[in-house]
């Protein structure tokens, strides 16, 4: 699907962008454009990807999704966009809320308009479980981003651009995940701080996330929110696997943090479909004719949460994944 295509990744120097680029280069794209605002991270990524045979197909474009004019220039001739750029740190978004809105909301709006104007074929935006019934500003901005992206299809008219979203949980080994935090605490402090011992989380690896996004690119009609079926794990099990002999200290839940994660609410499940390895939330607007006759309807009142999940990672499986 990606062969001979020009792909642009916003926030492409992040963990997802790097893994997506690595896998995409093996599929002979015409070009992969990394669009981000940090020149040092771009330099480091450029050096890192020298080892790949198709490095000459990579391009680096310094720019911010807040800058609509610069974004439009970067999108000239692009076929596919993966939207991974965002302010993601919950405390930073709480402390500087308008900055989160400018990047996560207004930046998404800029991307929608410039993709339509430049005739981009497909756009997949990365969302998060925190967008579901959000309890912090980061989650709220991601919820708005989802709404903007899915409804962006209404503005396309007779142009070809299509927008969809992918929503998943914590990414194993990504920048900012709890794993390096636990490891550093064990090494530096000799204790691991757990906010709540009841806490559960969904987990996905970087490679699984990238391959799921590629599957969604292949199947999207525009307007869907795709949700992979993921295993849950207990935060206490993760801490035990990372540092089995280190004491654990329960410090209390942080502002905006949830005990359990939800990827699909009972309200959304009323217009969602279940497939073997994922769910699809269908838009309720006349422009969409996607999976209407495919998949299975979900039972009334169904929700997909990390505490009631039927797939779990035990300590042995966590060790294997780590």
Torsion of CA 32, 5, 149, 311, to 10 degrees: -80
Catalytic-labelled residue, pool 88, 130, 142, 234: 130
Give the integer Cα–Cα distance in Å for 53 and 170. 31
Give the integer Cα–Cα distance in Å for 193 and 228. 29
Please name the residues in contact with 148: beta carbons below 8 A apart, sequence gap of 6 or more.
Answer: 105, 108, 109, 112
Check: CB of residue 21 under 8 Å from CB of residue 46.
Answer: no
| CA-to-CA separations, 70 to 45, 63, 83, 161, 172, in angstroms, rounded | 21, 6, 16, 19, 33
Give the integer Cα–Cα distance in Å for 236 and 6. 43
229 classed as catalytic:
no
Give the integer Cα–Cα distance in Å for 242 and 234. 13
Can you give the C-alpha Rg of the chain in angstroms?
20
* Residue the block writes with tokens 């007779």: 158
58: left (phi over 0), alpha (psi -120 to 50) or beta: beta
Alpha helices in the chain (DSSP H): 15-25, 39-48, 68-74, 90-95, 97-100, 107-117, 137-151, 178-188, 206-219, 235-242, 266-269, 315-321
Query: Alpha carbon 207 to chain centroid distance?
Result: 12
Catalogue the active-site residues: 130
């Amino acid at each position: 699907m990606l062969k001979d295509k020009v792909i642009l990744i916003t926030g492409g120097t992040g963990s997802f962008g790097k893994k997506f680029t690595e896998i995409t280069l093996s599929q002979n794209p015409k070009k992969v454009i990394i669009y981000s605002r940090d020149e040092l991270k771009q330099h480091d990524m450029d050096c890192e990807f020298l080892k790949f045979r198709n490095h000459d197909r990579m391009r680096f474009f310094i720019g911010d999704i807040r800058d609509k004019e610069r974004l439009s220039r970067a999108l000239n001739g692009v076929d596919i966009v993966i939207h991974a750029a965002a302010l993601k740190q919950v405390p930073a978004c709480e402390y500087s809320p308008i900055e989160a809105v400018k990047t996560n909301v207004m930046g998404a709006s800029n991307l929608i308009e410039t993709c339509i104007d430049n005739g981009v074929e497909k756009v997949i935006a990365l969302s998060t479980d925190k967008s579901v019934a959000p309890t912090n500003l980061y989650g709220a901005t991601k919820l708005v981003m989802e709404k903007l992206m899915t409804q962006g299809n209404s503005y396309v008219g007779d142009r070809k651009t299509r927008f969809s979203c992918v929503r998943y949980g914590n990414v194993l080994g990504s920048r900012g995940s709890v794993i390096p935090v636990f490891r550093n605490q064990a090494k530096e402090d000799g204790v691991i701080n757990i906010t709540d011992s009841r806490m559960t989380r969904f987990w996905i690896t970087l490679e699984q996330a990238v391959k799921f996004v590629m599957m969604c690119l292949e199947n999207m009609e525009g307007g869907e929110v795709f949700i992979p079926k993921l295993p849950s794990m207990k935060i206490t099990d993760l801490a035990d696997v990372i540092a089995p002999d280190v004491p654990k200290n329960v410090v209390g839940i942080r502002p905006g943090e949830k005990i359990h994660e939800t990827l699909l609410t009972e309200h959304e499940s009323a217009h969602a479909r279940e497939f073997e390895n994922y769910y699809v939330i269908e838009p309720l607007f006349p422009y969409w004719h996607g999976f209407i006759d495919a998949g299975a309807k979900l039972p009334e009142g169904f929700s997909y949460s990390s505490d009631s999940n039927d797939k779990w990672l035990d300590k042995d499986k966590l060790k294997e994944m780590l």
